[in-house]
Amino acid sequence: MKILNIILLFTVTLILAGCDKTGNFPGAEVNPHIAIYDLRSFYKGTDYPLTQKSMHGAIGITGVVVSDHRGKNLPSGLLMVQDKLRLNELRGIAINIGSDAEQYIPGDSVTVNLAGGVMKRVDGLLQVTGLDGSAVTRVASGKPIPVNRVPSSYILADPDKYESTEVVIVKGGFDPIPAPTDTYSGDKLVNDGFDNFTLHTEAAATFAGNPLPGMANFFGVVYYSKDNSGKYVPHLRIRRPEDITVLSSTVTRAAIVVSGFVTDVEGTDLDGEYIQLLATRDIDFSATPYSLVTCNQTSSFTPTGAPVNGWATGGRRTYKFSLTSGTAAKGTYFYVGNTSKLINGQGSNSMASGNWIVSINYGSLEDGAGGLGNTNLLINSGTYACGIAVFEGTTVTAASVPIDVVFIGNNGSVLGTGSSPAGYRITNTDWYDIINPVTLEEQHFYKQGSNTICLSYGVPADAGWFYKLGGEYNIRLGRWTKARAQRLVDLSKTSTLDELEKEFPMGDGTTEGLFPTKAVE
């Protein structure tokens, strides 16, 4: 037994002696390049000297250059490099190497020896100082940089995540609308439908004197400037004129936008559904008529198959309302739909005090354009698509382009494929784009290209959901400055018009109610 204990003790001693207390396996080598995500994590608010020990055995980073000094709009000396080596999270870092930074352009693959540098905040930006051009080695050139579309609200909420990386602000429009003589020079306010964001251009930039477009995509890098209170706030710096992709040179304003609707009242849907719309200008429908068309996609709504004639398909697929009388004041709501004018089906409160422009029994009347009456103006459950579109004038054809459109669900025969796609046409809205803002390919129909955004049906069914879309349409700018989103109000039989047209539930000081769609200036 003593001999056995001695053998066991000797074996355990050998095992313990062979263990490396650092956790490294014998013969293993530390990767000389640390992920930028990990590098940035070392900084805790005070200067951080970079050594092989402080970088946990690494000596530097590898990544793709995103800075470009040819346009003369970036702070001198900064080389900006990004990678996605940790958790597939994109991060960037700026390295001050003096004038040698001008030798590198976006797409250059480089390694950077950071040993001897110091990581610190300079003018709000986290960067490595104390190095020169000898620390950088170009490995390759022309590497593709994946498009990183980032809403402006995301950058404002977490600028540290995006600084020194290449981002693109998509569908950016200027506030105020540019005059023909306005140029990029200075600070310009851009809105992409998510928030306002500053675009900064140095007076010496090569494109500073270029005229401003109506709407564009803006590629660039995130930098900082001080606001009036001395706080550093992020802004976007375009690097060269090639960073600007003009989408439109003009601004088109929609007179009417869809602000809400009910697809499934409590009880029977026959003569119960309606749509709420918001006027963005004073409208006399007898002088300037409009149309509203709905569509449904299940197999019970004939004709089946791809809608070759789009919003003019007729049958039980589309139903058109002609808005030819009545008025709506700018910034007010009006309604199209059932004859009963009840808020949540049979036995519910009347909403006849609302501004009803069209009120007909869509369940039994044909629409005058080939649309047959149907119990459901809009289908009310599942995933099959239904939609609402508003048009100028009372004639709607396969080629007609709406002024606003929304969809619920995405299944069914919505889009015909082939050399000549057919389907439900969209327009440029907060959700949809006739030209793909990233690839610049044409996409005229719902579910074509990036036009895939839709609402989902409220559950459970038969609950009386009102889709209160919210969002803000800026009349002066002619665009959505806050995109619509799915917000559901569970109507009761005793609900009132205020629940549709005002904040509901009402804020109590600690919680925020659901706001209706707003027209702002």
CA distances for 268 relative to 273, 365, 474, 492, angstroms: 10, 17, 37, 14
Same domain flag for 231 and 262: no
Residue with tokens 């870092």: 93
Select from 151, 133, 171, 75 the least CA-distant residue to 479. Answer: 171
For residue 168, the domain's CATH number is: 2.40.50
Is 12 among the domain residues? no
Asked whether residue 172 falls in the same domain as residue 319, the answer is no
Question: Do 257 and 242 share a structural domain?
Answer: no
Does residue 156 share a domain with residue 121? no
Same domain as 208, residue 162: yes
Q: For residues 82 and 105, state if they share a domain.
A: yes
Q: Are residues 225 and 263 in the same domain?
A: no
One-letter amino acid identity for 156? L
What is the residue range of 287's domain?
Answer: 253-521
Question: How many domains does the structure of the chain reveal?
Answer: 3
Dump pLDDT digits (tens) for 487-502: 999 999 999 999 999 9
Whether residue 145 lies inside any domain: the answer is no
Last residue of a domain, which of 84, 109, 140? 140
Do both 349 and 485 map to the same domain?
A: yes
* Nearest Cα to Cα of residue 291 among 148, 162, 393, 158: 393
Q: How many residues are present in the chain?
A: 521
Q: Is the dihedral of CA 315, 321, 324, 330 positive or negative?
A: negative
**Angle of CA points 334, 335, 338, to nearest 5°:** 165
**% of the chain exceeding 70 in pLDDT:** 92
pLDDT for the residue 4: 41
Beta pairing, strands 518-520 & 472-474: parallel
Pair (173, 305) in one structural domain = no
Tens-digit pLDDT string for the chain (521 aa): 444 444 444 444 444 444 444 444 454 567 899 999 999 999 999 999 999 999 999 999 999 999 999 999 999 999 999 999 999 999 999 999 999 999 999 999 999 999 999 999 999 999 999 999 999 999 999 999 999 999 999 999 999 999 999 999 998 999 988 999 999 999 999 999 888 999 999 999 999 999 999 889 999 999 999 988 989 999 999 999 999 998 876 667 899 999 999 999 998 888 899 999 999 999 999 999 999 999 998 878 889 889 999 999 999 999 999 999 999 999 999 999 999 999 999 999 999 999 999 999 998 888 877 888 887 889 987 899 999 999 999 999 999 999 999 999 999 989 988 777 899 999 999 999 998 888 889 999 999 999 999 999 999 988 999 999 999 999 988 889 888 999 999 999 999 999 999 987 765 555 567 899 999 98
Residue at a domain's end among 92, 110, 140: 140
The verdict on residue 10 lying in a domain is: no
Put the strands of the sheet holding 386-392 in their side by side order.
318-323, 290-296, 386-392, 404-408
Q: Examine the domain organization and report whether 291 and 209 are in the same domain.
A: no
Inside any domain, residue 30: no
Residues 186 and 328 in one domain: no
Count the alpha carbons within 13 Å of 394 in the hemisphere toward its beta carbon. 13
pLDDT in tens, 10-27: 444 444 444 444 444 454
* pTM assigned to the model: 0.76
Q: Give residue 2's pLDDT.
A: 41
CA 347 remoteness from chain centre:
40
- Whether residue 468 sits in one domain with residue 433: yes
Q: In the listed set 107, 140, 173, which residue is the last one of a domain according to the structure? A: 140
Q: What is the pLDDT of residues 321-354, one digit of tens each?
A: 999 999 999 999 999 999 999 999 999 999 999 9
| Closest-CA residue to 333 (of 403, 278, 412, 397) | 278
- Give the list of residues 6+ apart from residue 229 with CB closer than 8 angstroms, or none: none
Give the Cα separation of 93 and 64 in Å (integer): 11
